[in-house]
Amino acid sequence: MKKHTFIAIFTLSILSTQPLLAKGNSSKEIPYKELELFSKTLSLTDDAYVEEVDNKEMVLGAIRGMLSTLDPHSVFMTPEQYKELKADTEGKFGGIGLEVTFRNDVLTAVTPMEDSPAKKAGLREKDKILKIEGTSTQELGFSESVKKLRGPRGTKVKLTILHEGAKDPVDVTIVRDIIRIKSVKWEVLEDGYGLIRVASFQDRTTSEFQKALSKIEAKSKLKGLIIDLRNNPGGLLDEAVSLSDLFLTSGTIVSTRSRDQIIDKREAADNGEEPKFPIVVLVNGGTASAAEIVSGALQDQKRATILGTQTFGKGSVQNVIDMGDGYALKLTIARYFTPNGRSIQATGITPDVIVNAKGQSGKKYNKDVYMREADLKGHLKGDGEKDEKSDTNSQNEDTKKSEDAKNSKTDFQKNAALDYLKTHSH
């Protein structure tokens, strides 16, 4: 199989390092008139503005403004941001371990990473980060805010946090650490049943998954397996494909399309060693990108039962292009599709069995407290996307119950998955 590299960062993107291919648009007219307008505006501003201006900064600002008219995952990166992106791909960095996004012009927590300083400090999904070291995050902007959250291990950073549902903000001081995302954890639930938690798809995740599976099988002959992909923001596409392939003997795992043309398709291979026991995949609103690829592939191929709540809905692919002088362009170039041809962009994966964090089941409990792709301003519209604003009030109580469940020691979804396996194992 041809090797490709796709990477997810904290904005829940799948990034491609493949060369960007021309799409045959050479006949498209260059907007000379608009470029002349831009040049004239730049020249007049340089000549007549009340103070001296930095032409370079104005041009870079114009580029950022241009990309802001696209989807939220297409951005122009400065040399510093590009270096940070490369550091992310190594799987470790100095910081607090919090995935963030900008929502309604406010820096907002998506989810704290497991065992991170942010998690230990009590930060939760949808918490608003109003200030970092006394400076408004609205004033700092997204990139500068992320930069300030990071820093050398052992250093402190003070955040002003407005917890979801709280009236007044609080100051929280967090000690930074080296953030290493633990990709795979496992446990034997009881005789014949195991659980493997995949926190993200990094290099060697599939091999770590296989080792975990072997350790479980060494303790007990498996009758059923739970794959926990809750709060998994994504990662390497190759690893998502190879992990899916562990349980599939044939057929498509995922395909990517751009401007209605298929540009890549991954197929499963039969090596004769695929396990036959039943599988339940746990998902929720924090399940995104590569994690949704695994969920969609196993669901469409009817190899696993998906249990939980609606996933994030990140169904696009970004390409990172080196622009020279340290700058880079991260550009959305394609959508990905499940084996049955479904695009999950802005809609997500609908579980086969709906169970929320409180243990409530049924269609009305399919939404939880997580923000999703559809909540991001300027997101690519999904094929089946609907305006669900009218349902907000009716879901408030369910959202509160789901949030309350986070403080419970009982993992209702895991228990439901185990019960399902016991009922359907042979």
Name the active-site residue from 128, 131, 314, 330: 314
| Region of poorest pLDDT, from 94-103, 203-212, 354-363, 373-382 | 373-382
Name the residue type at position 200: S
One fold for both 92-180 and 184-316+331-384+391-424?
no
Structure confidence by residue, pLDDT tens digits, 125-166: 899 999 999 999 999 988 889 889 999 899 999 999 999 889
Pair 71, 379: CB distance under 8 Å? yes
Domain boundaries, given as residue ranges, for the chain: 92-180, 184-316+331-384+391-424
Does 74 participate in catalysis according to the annotation?
no
- The amino acid at residue 3 is K
**Annotated catalytic residue: which of 16, 145, 255, 289?**
289
6-37 residue pLDDT tens: 333 333 456 554 555 445 455 578 888 999 99
Q: So what's the pLDDT on residue 147?
A: 86
* Contacts for 90 with CB less than 8 Å, ≥ 6 apart: none
**Would you state the pLDDT for residue 91?**
66
Active site residue 314: yes
Q: What's the confidence (pLDDT) of residue 303?
A: 98
Cβ atoms of 183 and 196 closer than 8 Å: no
At residue 282, φ and ψ (nearest 5 deg) are -90, 130
**Residue 211 corresponds to which tokens in the numbers above?**
């080792």
Instruction: Calculate mean pLDDT across residues 331-351.
Output: 94
Q: 419 or 237: whose pLDDT is higher? A: 419
pLDDT for 129: 96
Topology of domain 184-316+331-384+391-424, CATH:
2-enoyl-CoA Hydratase; Chain A, domain 1 (3.90.226)
Q: What is the pLDDT of residue 20?
A: 56
For residues 344 and 384, what is the distance between their CA atoms, to the nearest angstrom? 8
pLDDT for 5 beyond 50: no
Amino acid letter, 153: R
> Is the confidence at residue 85, as pLDDT, over 80?
no
The pLDDT of residue 320 is above 60: yes
Instruction: Looking at the structure, give the CATH architecture of the domain made up of residues 92-180.
Output: Roll (2.30)
How does DSSP assign 107-148, residue by residue? EEEEEEPTT-HHHHTT--TT-EEEEETTEEHHHHHHHHHHHH
pLDDT given for residue 87 in this prediction: 66
Calculate the alpha carbon distances from 210 to 207, 231, 247, 254, 418 in Å: 5, 21, 11, 21, 21
Q: Answer whether 0.75 is exceeded by the pTM.
A: no
Q: Which of 228, 300, 368, 398 is catalytic?
A: 300
Q: Residues near 40 by Cβ (< 8 Å), separated by ≥ 6?
A: none
